[in-house]
Structure 1
Amino acid sequence: MESPITPDLLRRFDVPGPRYTSYPTADRFVEAFTDADYGQALAQRREGPSALAMPLSLYVHIPFCESLCYYCACNKIITRHKSRSAEYLGWLEKEVDLHAGILGPGQPVSQVHLGGGTPTFFNDDELRQLMQMLRSRFAVAPGAECSIEVDPRTVDATRLQTLADLGFNRISFGVQDFDPEVQKAVHRIQPYEQVAALMAEARRIGFDSINVDLIYGLPKQTPESFARTLGQVAQLRPDRIALYAYAHLPERFKPQRRIDAAELPEAAGKIAMLSQALAAFLSAGYVYIGMDHFALPGDALAVAKRQGRLHRNFQGYSTQPDCDLIGLGVSAIGKVGATYSQNAKTLEEYCDALRQGRLPVVRGLALSRDDLARRAVIMALMCQGQVVFESIELAWLLDFKNYFAPELEEMRELQRQGLVVMDDAGIQVTASGWFFVRGVAMKFDRYLQADRNRARFSRII
C-alpha cells in the first residue's frame, strides 16, 4: 500500500494544533477549579447510577528518570537517588486513600496505566507494592488492560517477567530512533540489539501487545538515517507503533535548550521522514489508526477501529469505553463526569497538599454544554472518522446545521481538498483526511478558533 497523501497536503497542514486527548484541551484548565470541585465530582460519581456500572481507568505518573533525554517535554525529575521512589510511593498511597475514602471501596477498574518519567525507575518491590495498593482499594477486573511505559535501558529479561507476574499485559518501549548519532545528540544511547532482545523476550513471555515509540524531527536525523530506523522497526514488528513529531519549544521545556537548533532537520526533511514512515508501515501491513498510531490488523486497537469502538483519552487512542479516569501522582490529569482536573506539577506542592490531607488538584475545568457537544463531535472525528448529525442532535438537543453553521463552511473547504465527504446526514473523513484528522477536528474547537496563538501546540505533522 502507498500513502494516500501528497507533498502538497503535507506542506499545507504543517501547522501547530492540539492532539485532542481531551476537549477542551489542557491549556484551557483554570485554577478556579479546585480540589474541592474535584472532590465534589468524585462524590457525585459515587452517588450516581454509574458508580458500579462504569469502570474506572487509573493513570499513575512516576516522574523519576536516571538521565535526561534532551527532547523530552514530560514532567520528570532527574535523579540517581533510588530512595526517592520509596518516599514517593508513600505519597501515592495517601492520594489513593483519599480517593477511596470519597469513592468508597470496590470501585471497578478496567484499565491501569503507568507513565512518566520512567515507571521502571521503581524497583520490583516498589512496583509490587504499587499494584497491591491499587488492587486493595479498587476492584481491578480480571484481564484488565494493565500497561506500563518501559525505558529499555532499565529492564532485562528477568524484569520483564516480573512485570508480567505483576499483571502487566501491555508494554511500550521508548525507542525514538536507532541511529547512533541521533541517540548521542538527544542523550539517549540504546543499541538496536538491546531493544530487539527485549522485544523477543517480551513475546516469549506473552504480553498481549508491544508498542514502540518513535520520534521524527530530532537533531541529526535525515530521511536516509530515519529510513534505516524504519526498516529496523519493521523487522522487530511491534504490535503497535506510535510515531510523534518532535516539537522544539526550548522556551517552554528547559532540557530542549541542550539541542543545537542548527542540527534539526528542515521542514522538507521532516515531511520526507513522515511520508517515508507512512509508506513503510502501510506496506508492512500496519493499519493506520489515526494521527500518529499504527497497529497490526489483529491488535485490539485495529480491531476496535474496524468495529467503530475506538476511544481517546489522555494516554491517546484506547479500546476502552469513555470511562472516568483517575489521575494519580504529580502533574497527573484525570476526567470524572463532566470535569477535568490536574494535580500539582511540582513534587513539593503535590506533597504539601497531601500532607494537609487534601487532594493535590490545582486546576481543572467544569465543562459547559457547548464543551460537551463539541467534545462529542471532535471525538467522533478523531476516533470513528465520521460525525452523524442526528446522533449529536439527539444527544444534545440542537440543530446541527444551525449550531455549527460556521464550522460546516470550513468543512466544505476541506471537502474541496479531498479530506472529508459531507452530505445531509453527516461528515465522513476520507482516507487522505485520516492523516490530517487533527486539522479536521480543529475546525470545531471554539477556543482555538477564537485564539489564533497556536505556537504552544506541536505541529500536526
Structure 2
Amino acid sequence: MALDFAKFTKYSKPGPRYTSYPTALEFNDAFGYDEYVKKLETQDSSRPLSLYFHLPFCKNACYFCGCNVVFTSKEDKMIRYMDYLKRELKILSKHLDMNREVIQMHFGGGTPTFFSAAQLDEIISEIKSYFPNFVPDAEISCEIDPRHINEDQMKVMSEHGFNRVSFGLQDFNEKVQIAVHRVQPYNITKDAMDLARKYNMHSVNVDLIYGLPFQTLDTFKETLSLALTLNPDRFAVFNYAHVPWLKKTMRKIDETTLPRPDEKLQIMQYTIDFLTENGYKMIGMDHFAKSEDELFKAIDKGELHRNFQGYTTKGGADLIGVGLTSIGEGVDYYAQNFKDMPSYEEAIDAGKLPFERGVALSEDDQIRQHVIMELMSNFKLDIKRFEAIYGLEFKKYFEDAILDLKPFVEEELIIMNDECIACSQTGTLLIRNIAMPFDAYMKRHASSDKTFSKTV
C-alpha cells in the first residue's frame, strides 16, 4: 500500500475512537440512578448478556496508559475491593435477571493478574454463582501484563473456561520501554505466551502501540519481527493517544521525542504491509487477525461488532459493567460507575449500585449509532438495509454528512452510491474521520483541541 503522506497528514485532527456513540463526553447527570435501575429491570430477558469486570490495580504507572487505574502494592486494598465487587453483584441481582445467558465476559484493568491465583478463583467463582448460565461457547477473556502472570493464575483461568487472553506488549525497544516506564524483555512475553498455549487459550492477542517516544520506522520493524515470532492469533496496533490534559502520567513523556504524524503513518503503512504479507488481515480499526479467525469471517459477512471490550462477533447483547469506572450498554442507554474509589464504596455501603452518570439515547442517537458503528466495525454501510430498518431516506436524513464526505469520495478514500458507503483500503486508515460527519455532537467540540486524541 502506497500512501500520500502529505494528503493523510492534513486529516490529523482531534476525533473520537467511537468505542461508543454518543461518546463518554455526552454522559451526564440527566440520566439518573432511578432511570438506570428501571432500564436494568425492564431489559428484554431474551437478550443475552456481556459482562465486563474492571480490576483496576497496577503496581507501577505506564506513562502511555489511558486506562483508569489504582496504583498500589498493598494486599489489603485488593482484598477490600474484592469484598465490594461481591456486594455490587448482590445489589445488581436485585435489579437484573441474572439467569439470562452470558455469551461474553471480559476482565480488564489495571492488571487483572495482579490478583493472585486464589483471589482470581474466588472472584470468578462468585461471578458464576450469580450468573449461572454461561453458554458453552462463551467468549471469556482477560487482559494480561506478561510481567504479572504465573502458571497458577493461568491454570485457574483455564479451569474456569477462559479462552482468550490479550497481552500488553507495546514495543520491544529498550529505549522506548524506559521512556514509557514499562521495561518488559522479550523472554518475559515469550514465557507468558507459552503459558497461554499450554493452558489452551484458543485465541491470543498482542497489543502494540505506535507513536511512542523515540519510536522510528526501523525500531518498530524490529518490534514487529519479534512479535511475529510469538505467533499470536490477533494483533491490536494502536495509535498512541497523547492526552496529558486527561492523564497526569502522560505529562512525564517528553513531547519532543514523539514521532511526527507522517512518521506514524509510515509506521502504520509498514505494519499493514508486514502483517498482510505474514498471513494477517486488517479487521476494524487497528486490529489484525489470521484469515481463519472468527473476526475475519465476521467482517467478511458484515457482522463484526464494536463495544467497550473491542471488536467482537458477540452482537445483540446487553453489556453489564461491574467495578470501579466500568461502563454498561443497553439498547438505548450507556451507564458508567464512579471513577473514584471513595464514591464507589460509598454507593455500595448505601445499598445502591455505584452508578455515577450515563446517557439515554434518543431516536436520533440510535440512528447515528447504527451508522457510525457499522462503519467503525465493517468499513462499510449497507444503505438499503439501513433504510429498511429505520424507514428513512438515508441521503435526505444525512444531507449534511453526505456533503462533508465529498472530499473523501473525490480522493477515492470511500465509494458512496445509493447502495452503500465503503472505504477503500487506504480509507480504512481514516475511518475515525469518515465516521465523524455522522456525529451530531462534534460541532460542540470542534473548537477544542484538548477533547480527543489526534486521528493520525
Normalising by the smaller structure, the TM-score range is over 0.9
How far residue 266 of structure 1 moved from its aligned partner, in angstroms, is 2.6
Aligned counterpart for 2:30 among listed residues 26, 29, 32: 32
CA distance in 2, matches of 1:358, 1:108: 24
Query: How many pairs align?
Result: 454
Distance across 1 between alignment mates of 2:291 and 2:356:
41
Q: CA deviation at 1:225?
A: 1.3
Q: Which residue of 1 aligns with 2:266?
A: 272
2:278 aligned residue (276, 279, 284): 284
**Aligned with residue 141 of structure 1, among 135, 144, 157:** 135
Moved more, 385-394 or 337-346: 385-394
Q: Alignment partner for residue 238 of structure 1, among 222, 232, 241?
A: 232
- Note the 1:53-72 alignment, pairs <5 A: 53-72=46-65
Deviations 1:164-205 (A, max 9, x none): 122210000001111111111111111011111221232232
**Distance of 2:332 and 2:174 partners within structure 1:** 46
Q: Aligned residue for 1:459?
A: 454
The counterpart of 1:101, out of the listed 80, 94, 112, is: 94
Query: Secondary structure, in 3 states, of the residue corresponding to 2:102?
Result: strand
Cα shift at 1:4: 5.5
- Asked whether the 8 Å contact 2:6–2:262 carries over to 1, the reply is no
Q: Is 1:263–2:261 an aligned residue pair?
A: no
Aligned partner letter, 2:124: M
**Alignment map for 1:3-82 (pairs within 5 Å):** 3=1, 5-45=3-43, 50-51=44-45, 53-82=46-75
One-letter amino acid matched to 1:122:
F
State the 1:454 CA deviation: 4.8
Aligned CA-pair RMSD? 1.5
Alignment of 1:302 onto 2:296: yes
The separation in 1 between residues aligned to 2:283 and 2:314, in whole angstroms, is 15
Deviations 1:4-54 (A, max 9, x none): 643234313222211111111111110222221110100111xxxx30x21
Alignment correspondent of 1:334: 328
CA contact (8 A) 1:4 1:431 kept: no
Alpha-carbon offset, residue 110 of structure 1 = 0.5
**Secondary structure, in 3 states, of the residue corresponding to 1:102?**
coil
| TM-score under structure 2 length normalisation | 0.96
What residue number does 1:90 align with?
A: 83
Q: Secondary structure at the match of 1:280?
A: helix
Instruction: Give a deviation string over 1:83-114, Cα, whole Å, max 9, x none.
Output: 21111111111111122111234121110000
User: Any conservation in 1 of the 2:285–2:377 contact (CA below 8 Å)?
Assistant: no
8 A Cα contact 1:41 1:337, kept in partner: no
**Structure-1-length-normalised TM-score:** 0.95
Cα distance in structure 2, aligned partners of 1:250 and 1:451: 18
Q: Contact between 2:53 and 2:326, CA under 8 Å: does it hold in 1? A: yes
Match of 2:422 in 1: 428
Preserved CA contact (<8 Å) 1:65 1:79: yes
Secondary structure (helix, strand or coil) at the match of 1:168 reads coil
| CA distance, structure 2, for counterparts of residue 224 and residue 390 of structure 1 | 45
Render the CA deviation track for 1:427-457: whole Å, top value 9, x for unaligned: 2222222221111111111111343135321
* Paired-residue identity, %: 40
Where structure 1 has 5 or more consecutive residues not aligned to the other structure, the ranges are: none
Unpaired stretches in structure 2, ≥5 consecutive residues: none
Contact preservation (8 Å) 1:290, 1:435: no
- Note if 1:131 corresponds to 2:124: yes
* Residues 277-319 of structure 1: per-residue CA shift (max 9 Å, x gap): 1221122121100211111111121121122220010122111
Q: Aligned equivalents of 1:330 and 1:400: distance in 2?
A: 39
Contact 1:439/1:460, CA 8 A, preserved across alignment:
yes
